[in-house]
Structure 1
Amino acid sequence: MEHFTNEVIDTTKLPRFETVALSKLDSNYWKVIGLNILITFLILGIGLGALLFFNPGLKEFWMPLLGLFGLFFGFVILFAALSVKKKAFAFRTHDVIFQSGVIATNTIVIPYNRVQHVALHEGFIARIFGLAKVEIFTAGGSASDIAIPGIALAQAEDIKQLLMGKIQKKL
C-alpha cells in the first residue's frame, strides 16, 4: 500500500509572475485604436447631426448634446489610452502571461500544456500598420482565453509557431 502525503506548500517560495518583465504592445497599436474610435465617432456624429437637422424640436438642445458628445469622445480616448498602456505579455519556458485592465488589473497565466489552438488575426486597420492579434485557446470554450492585440506581424507569426511547436510536443 502506498503512503499518502499531503504536505503544506510554502506559498512565499513559489515563483512570482509579478517579477517577469512583460513586453508592451507595439507603439503603432495606439494608431489602430485611435482610427477605430475616430471612425466610430464620425459615424455617431453624422447620425447626431442628422437627428438635429431633421428634428426641429431638438434644435435648442444642439449645444448641450454637442458638449456631451465631446465629453464622451474625450472619455473614450482617455480610457482607450490607459487600456493600451496597461496591456502587456510575456512568453516563458512553460507558460504565457497576459496582463490588462484599467480599473482592475487582470493577469492570465496559461501553461503551454493547456493550449489547444492558436489563431492569428489581422484586422483591416491593423494590417495597414503591420500588426496582428494572437489568440490562444484552451479546452472547453468557444472564445479565446487570451487575445494579445497590437503585435508586429512578424513577431505574431513567431509566437504562433512557438505555440504550435508546444502543442505538437504534447501530442
Structure 2
Amino acid sequence: MENFSNETIDTKQLPRFEEVQLTALHPKYSRVVVLNSSIFILLLIIGLASLLYFDSENISNRFAMILGIATVIISMGILFFSILGFKKKAYAFRNHDVIYRSGIIATNTMVVPYNRVQHVALHEGFISRFFGLATVEIFTAGGSSSDVEIPGIAKEEAENIKQLLMGKIQKQL
C-alpha cells in the first residue's frame, strides 16, 4: 500500500494564468457584433413604432417622445457595451488547457484542462459565415451545453483548433 501524503502547496509558486499572452478575437468579429446589435435594435424600434402606430390614440405625445429618447439611449448603450465586450474577449491554447477571458464589468476567465474536454464543435452563424468566422464550442463532462464558446475566430484557424483539441481528447482515451 502506498504511503498517504498531503503536503501543503505553496500557492505563490503556482503558474499564473494572468501572465499568459492571450489572443484577441479576429478584428472582423467587431463587425459581426455591431451587425447583430443593430439587428436587435432595429427589431426593437420596429416593435415600438408598431406599438405607437397601432395604439396611437391611447399614447400621449409626451410618452411617445420619452419612449423615443429612451430607445435612442438604450440603443447607444447596447452598441457601446457590445463593442466594449468584443475588446475584452481573448483566448489562449496551452499545452494542457485552454483559457478564455470575457466580461465587461466583471472579467470572467475560464481555464479548461484538456483532460476535461469531451467534445468540440464549430458553429458558424449567418453573419459570422459571411465574414469567414466561426465559434469554437468546447464541451466538458456533465454539461448539456458548451462550457466555453470562443467566437470570432477565422474559420480555417477554428478548424485547426478543433483538430488540435480532438487530438488531445484522443490521446486521453
TM range (shorter): over 0.9
Normalising by structure 2, we get a TM-score of: 0.95
User: Aligned ranges for residues 7-86 of structure 1 at < 5 Å?
Assistant: 7-55=7-55, 56-60=57-61, 61-86=63-88
Task: Return 5+ residue gaps in structure 1 as ranges.
Answer: none
User: Aligned ranges for residues 17-166 of structure 1 at < 5 Å?
Assistant: 17-55=17-55, 56-60=57-61, 61-166=63-168
Following superposition, the deviation at residue 59 of structure 1 comes to 4.2
Give a deviation string over 1:91-120, Cα, whole Å, max 9, x none: 001110001111111111111111100000
Q: Percent identity?
A: 60
Give the counterpart letter for 2:145 in structure 1: A
Following superposition, the deviation at residue 36 of structure 1 comes to 1.0
Give the counterpart letter for 2:134 in structure 1: A
Tell me the C-alpha RMSD between the 2 structures: 1.0
Greater mean alpha carbon deviation, residues 137-146 or residues 38-47: 38-47
Check whether the contact 1:134–1:160 (CA below 8 A) recurs between aligned residues. Answer: yes
The runs of 4+ residues in structure 1 deviating greater than 4 Å are none
Check whether the contact 1:116–1:139 (CA below 8 A) recurs between aligned residues. Answer: yes
